[in-house]
Structure 1
C-alpha cells in the first residue's frame, strides 16, 4: 500500500513538473511575442489602424456576430491544419474609385514558435476580383537567413499564400529538429552537447575530449518555396590526430553518415552514430 502511494506521489510530481515546463515555455513565447509587437515600426502601424478604425459606417451587429463565430471556426481549423494561429486582423479602406477599392490589412499571429506581422494591400475590383499589390512582413526570427530570404522573395512575388505554406512547413521542421536534438541530449547527457535554438549538435566521447563530431542540420527553403532538410556530419579534431587516421574513418564520416541515413532513417542513424562513436571506448 505504501509503495502504491509513493508511486502515485511520484507520478503527480512528474506531471506537475511537466506542466510547469509547458507553462514556462508558453510564458517565454508570450514574452517574445510582446517584445516583437512592441517594436516601434510595428507598434506605430497597429496604432494607426486602431486610431482610424474602419471606414464602413453601416454595421449589422447580428451579421457581425455570425461572421465572428465563423471566423473563430476558420481560425481554429487553420491552426490545426497549418500550425498558424492568428491573434489579430485589421483592415481599413485606403482608396475608392469607380473601378476598385484599395484596402490595407494587418495580420498578427504565430506559426508554432515564429511570431509574425504581415502588412499587405489589396485591390478589389467591382468584378469581385482581388489581387495583392503590396506586402511587408516582419518576424521575430530575423537572424534566420532562410526565413529572411523567403520574406524577401515574398515581397517581390506578392505570393502571400505561398509564404504561409512555406512558413508552416519550415516551422514544423524546425520544431521537429529541436525536439529530436533534445531527445538525444536527454538520453545521452554526457555525449550530446547543444546550444539553444541551434541547427547543430555536438557528439562527444568522454574518453576523447579532443575529438568531436558536429551534426549539422540545416533547413533550406528553395526559391520555389519547397522546404527540405539537409544534414551533414563534420569531424573536429587536431591535425595530429587526423594524420593518425590512416583508414580515413573520420575523414569519410560525413559520407558514411549520409549512406546510413538513407538506409535506416534519421532517428536510427543518429542512434547508431552515438553508440559507435560516443560510447565505443567506454564499453570496451
Structure 2
C-alpha cells in the first residue's frame, strides 16, 4: 500500500513538473512577443519602411496609435471623395546611390467597381528630398474598352500617376452609375428591359411584347479624351423591321436620336428613360 502511495506521489510530481515546464515555455513565448512589439523593433520597422532613421521620441505607442487613427480617417475621406480603395500595398528598396534611393511599389485596389493593379518605381533624391516616378506598369480587367486601354498606355509613357487616378475616379464613377441605372430599370421592368451582356455593358434593350421585332437600343458609352477628361455619350437607336420603317411617314424613327437628346436636356437621364419605357413598352400591354 505504501508503494502505491509513493507511485501516486511520483506521478503527481511528474505532472506538476510537466505543467511548470509548459507554463515556463508559454511565459518565454509571451516575452518574445512583447520584445518584438517593443519600441526598438517598431523603430526598426519604421526605419525600414521610410528608408531613413526615425527619432526615438516618435516611437511612442500613443503617438503611433494617434498617427494610425489619423491615417485611417484620411484614407476613409480619400475613399469617399475619389472612390479609390487600396487593398494591398508593398514597398521595397531597390538601389541606393549618392543621387538617391530607388523604391519599387506594388499596389492593388479598386475604384468603385473597377479593379486595378500596378507596379511602379520611384526615385527619391537625397539632396532635394523630391520624389519622381520613373516607371509604371498598370493592369486592369476592362480590356474591351479602347479608351481605357489608351489611358493605360498614355500613363505608362507619361508617368503621370496623379492624372491617371483623377481620370480613373471620374470614369469609374460614371461606370458605376451606368451599371446601377441599368440594373434599376431591369429590376423595375423585367419584361420591358433587356441586358444581353449584363449591367456592365454599354447598352440596354427596350422591348414591347405587343410589337415583336421592334426594339429601342439605349447606348451609353463613357469616353476618355487624350487630355484625360471623361465624357458620357448617350444615344437611342431603333431596331425595327423594314415594314415598320416604311410605315413611319412622320419621321419619328428618323428623328429618334435627336428627340432623345432633347428629352435628356429637358428631363434628365432617369426621367427620360422612365418616360420612354412607359410610352414605348408599358402603354401597349408590356409589363
TM-score (norm 1): 0.75
Q: What is aligned with 1:270?
A: 273
Correspondences of 1:1-284 after superposition (within 5 Å)? 62=59, 65=64, 68-126=68-126, 127-194=128-195, 195-196=197-198, 197-282=200-285
Structure 1 residues 63, 163: CA separation in 2 closer, same or farther (over 3 Å shift)? farther
In our comparison, the structure showing a higher alpha carbon Rg is 2
RMSD of aligned residue pairs (Cα, Å): 2.3
Q: Structure 2: how far apart are the matches of 1:120 and 1:147?
A: 19
Give the secondary-structure state (helix, strand or coil) at the position aligned to 2:132. Answer: strand
Q: Deviations over 1:170-221 (max 9, x none)?
A: 1111111111112212222221111312111101111001100000000111
Q: CA deviation at 1:79?
A: 1.2
TM-score (norm 2): 0.74
Q: CA deviation at 1:62?
A: 3.0
Give the secondary-structure state (helix, strand or coil) at the position aligned to 1:282. Answer: coil
Kept in 2: contact 1:201–1:216 (CA 8 A) = yes
Q: Structure 1: how far apart are the matches of 2:203 and 2:215?
A: 12
Kept in 2: contact 1:205–1:278 (CA 8 A) = yes
Q: Structure 2: how far apart are the matches of 1:130 and 1:63?
A: 28
Kept in 2: contact 1:75–1:86 (CA 8 A) = no
Q: Structure 2: how far apart are the matches of 1:148 and 1:68?
A: 36
Q: CA deviation at 1:109?
A: 1.1
Would you say how many aligned residue pairs link Structure 1 and Structure 2? 231
Q: Deviations over 1:14-67 (max 9, x none)?
A: xxxxxxxxxxxxxxxxxxxxxxxxxxxxxxxxxxxxxxx979596779369455
Structure 1 residues 136, 230: CA separation in 2 closer, same or farther (over 3 Å shift)? same
Kept in 2: contact 1:220–1:230 (CA 8 A) = yes
**Range that drifts further, 268-277 or 68-77:** 68-77
Give the secondary-structure state (helix, strand or coil) at the position aligned to 1:246. Answer: coil
Structure 1 residues 156, 57: CA separation in 2 closer, same or farther (over 3 Å shift)? closer
Q: Deviations over 1:63-105 (max 9, x none)?
A: 6945544433332222121111111211112222212221111
Runs of at least 5 residues in structure 2 that lack an aligned partner in the other structure: 1-47
Give the secondary-structure state (helix, strand or coil) at the position aligned to 2:285. Answer: helix
Runs of at least 5 residues in structure 1 that lack an aligned partner in the other structure: 1-52
